A and B are shown apart, each in its own frame.
Chain A
Amino acid sequence: MHELSLSGAVLNTVVKHAGERRVSLVSLRVGRLRQVVPDTLEFYFEFVARGTICEGATLELEIVEASLRCSPCEREWDIEIPAFRCPTCGGAEVEVASGNEFEVESIEIEEPQCIAQK
């Protein structure tokens, strides 16, 4: 369900940048902390893209691993389970260094060949 809303957000972002040109590929960076199921996102994207410039476009996902950084002790570590306390000092001043991404990294646009030169 959440992938349906997110795929709509991806589509809107792509349309904003592509204008009326056809899009063949959308590259997305998705942080592990976003709890996105790649297959589900692809399924819904294909669905919401129908009848738009993204119809038939491939959605390419790059999963970004989650890593945290403790401000006081400057330790940085990767997490598998959602535990946000620093394992070294036990502190709570922990920021997400990566893993929150949900961004359109690039798109591939189909453009007509230049026919100026015969």
Chain B
Amino acid sequence: MHRTKVRIVEDALDANNTIAQANRADFDRAGVTVVNFMSAPGAGKTSLLERVVSDVPGVSVGVLEGDVQGSMDADRLASLHVPVTQLNTDPSFGGECHLDANMVRSALDALPLDEIDMLVIENVGNLVCPAEFKVGEDVRVMVSSVTEGEDKPLKYPLMFRTCDLVLVNKIDLLPHLDYDLDRFLYNVDQVHPGAECLLLSARTGEGIDAWRDWLIDLARAREEMPA
């Protein structure tokens, strides 16, 4: 036996990125804008979707629900009469902690792409792995709730750096917490200068209109793109 060194120099995530591009092309062909929706567990992704998905004027929204196990979130959203497709990551080793491009690809046939204008992919709750894996999205939106602490942008910079919008949820709890909101916004600006943040509460409804308007503008941006 002798050993030969072979130079490769290839991004180890190339395979995932290639499949993500194929997903994106399929979504584009169907005229569907795709949002990769991410946060830590319990930040309020599903609650924030419940607040808006059935009521985005002029935009028909579908949801692809990614979970390690179960369909609790999908059931909640389906009760609002929006098309919901469940994707469980459990069959693989121990249940993957994120969605990757191939998992989303496997769900394409089950998605009603000709009935919707926008697909929100609710990723598995996790601030680390989902940031690494593109799934074919147009934009990334993340939720950071005020109960998580103002240091999170500095601890999970990749997630905060790669998202197009940060939803700061549970602001109704601010009077009860030692959370420094200005510090949080400063930290977001440090890791992602100029990043857009919306302050809201899924519980009280404060700030939800701005979140809905953001989605409407996003859908319009596609309509205005040259075909």
Tell me the nearest residue of chain B to A94, going by C-beta.
B193
Contacts of A107 in B (CB 8 A): 5-6, 8
Binds A, one of B30-38, B126-134, B174-182: B126-134
Check if B227 is an interface residue, CB within 8 A of chain A.
Answer: no
Size bin of chain A's contact surface: 35 or more
Interface stretch, picked from B11-19, B52-60, B111-119, B135-143, is: B11-19
Interface residues of A in 27-86 (CB under 8 A from B): 28, 33-35, 81-85
- CA A87 – CA B137 in complex, angstroms? 32
With A10-B12, A12-B15, A111-B2: A1-B129 Cβ-Cβ less than 8 Å: yes
Closest to B161 in A: A84
Q: Given the complex, which residues of B lie within 8 Å of A13, measured CB to CB?
A: 8, 10, 12, 14-15
B15, B96, B153, B189: which contacts A16 (Cβ < 8 A)? B15
Q: Is the CB of A105 within 8 A of B158?
A: no
| B1 interface residue per 8 A CB criterion | yes
Chain A residues whose CB sits within 8 angstroms of the CB of B81 once the complex forms: none
Cα(A110)–Cα(B3), bound, Å: 5
User: A92 in the interface, Cβ–Cβ < 8 Å?
Assistant: yes
Considering the chains assembled together, what is the distance between the CA atoms of A118 and B157 in angstroms? 60
**Cα(A95)–Cα(B127), bound, Å:** 22
Contact B1 A9 (CB under 8 A): no
User: Which of A13, A24, A33 is the most central at the interface, judged by chain B CB atoms within 10 Å of its CB?
Assistant: A13
Query: Is the Cβ of A102 less than 8 Å from the Cβ of B161?
Result: no
- Do the beta carbons of B193 and A6 come within 8 Å of each other? no
Q: Is B29 an interface residue (CB 8 A)?
A: no
Interface of A is mostly: mixed
Instruction: Give the docked Cα–Cα distance between A85 and B161 (Å).
Output: 12
Give every chain B residue within 8 A of A104 (Cβ-Cβ). 8-10, 12
**Chain A residues closer than 8 Å to B192, beta-carbon distance:** 84
Inside 8 A of A111's CB, which chain B residues have their CB?
1-4
Q: Determine which of A2, A9, A102 lies in contact with B128 in the assembled complex, contact meaning CB atoms within 8 Å.
A: A2
Alpha-carbon gap, A94 to B193, bound state (A): 9
In the bound complex, residues from chain B placing their C-beta under 8 Å from that of A4 are 93
Docked-complex contact A85 and B189, CB < 8 angstroms? yes
**A112 pairs with B1, CB closer than 8 A:** yes
Which residues of A sit under 8 angstroms from B22, Cβ to Cβ?
Answer: none
In the docked arrangement, what's the CA distance between A17 and B5, Å? Answer: 12
In the complex the two chains form, what is the Cα distance from A16 to B13 in whole Å?
A: 13
- Please name all residues of chain A whose beta carbon is closer than 8 Å to the beta carbon of B11 when the two chains form the complex: 102-103
CB-based contact B129/A5 at 8 Å:
yes
